[in-house]
Chains A and B, each alone.
Chain A
């Protein structure tokens, strides 16, 4: 059972388009992480957000943590084929229990 809901589940766009994916929960997190996973490999950490309302930027990726620390979004500007992958959000509770959403599978077509 996933405690975090990610949407959309699948997203297919053309190179150069912008996109936003969402991560929502009814629980308050002590921190939230975004990961990107390629087929057959482990998730790779992109960012950790801790403070409600926090915004972090990583090149063309912008991550936002909701004010109430129950939701987050990932926005990608001018998507490229290399951005293709499974984007996972993970919420941490009580500093030692991390649970994942089901992920958003992004395909960027050249």
Chain B
């Protein structure tokens, strides 16, 4: 049983560009959450998708958007990248009724 998988593992982008990160949830999980983790910090909640809709959102600007597909996989899009967007982006999946979440290995985004 594959766990949560994220792609790509590493990415370097230039300031002002756009980026798309991808996540496949653990089998049987229908809820996907995205987190941003800056160096030395705990993960910060970006948003959560359930039934292809954004259900919860953290304190992130509209430059951060997402999508969930019918197979429950998800994408995180970030427009107009800033240097401060450099971080580890984590995807977590959980089953309906959510009591705990399982994480992927993350995507390390570097904005130069």
Binding site for B on A (CB under 8 A): 1-2, 6, 30-31, 33, 35, 40-45, 48, 50, 88, 90, 92, 95-103
Q: Mark out the residues of chain B between 14 and 36 whose CB falls within 8 Å of any chain A CB in the assembled complex.
A: 31, 33, 35
A31 nearest in chain B by CB position? B99
- Tell me, rounded to whole Å, the shortest Cβ–Cβ distance linking A89 to chain B: 9
- List A contacts of B76 (CB < 8 A): none
**Which residue of the partner chain, among A6, A41, A100, A103, contacts B35 with CB atoms under 8 Å?**
A100
How many inter-chain contacts with C-beta < 8 Å in the A-B complex?
A: 67
For A44, give its contact among B44, B45, B48, B103 (CB under 8 Å).
B103
Contacts of A2 in B (CB 8 A): 42
In the bound complex, residues from chain A placing their C-beta under 8 Å from that of B44 are 100
* CB <8 Å contact, A40 and B108: yes
| A100:B42 contact, CB within 8 angstroms | yes
Q: Contacting B97 at CB < 8 Å: which of A6, A90, A95, A98? A: A95
Contact with A along B81-102 (1 / 0, CB 8 A): 0000000101010000111111
Known: A2-B42, A97-B56. A92 touches B99 (CB 8 A): yes
A101 to B86, CA, bound (A): 20
Contact A43–B56 (Cβ < 8 Å): no
Pull 8 A–B residue pairs with CB atoms less than 8 Å apart, ordered by A.
A35-B103, A42-B105, A43-B103, A88-B42, A92-B99, A101-B42, A103-B41, A103-B42
Contact B100 A102 (CB under 8 A): no
- Of the residues B45, B90, B92, contact of A97 by C-beta under 8 Å: B45
Q: Are B100 and A41 in contact (CB under 8 A)?
A: no
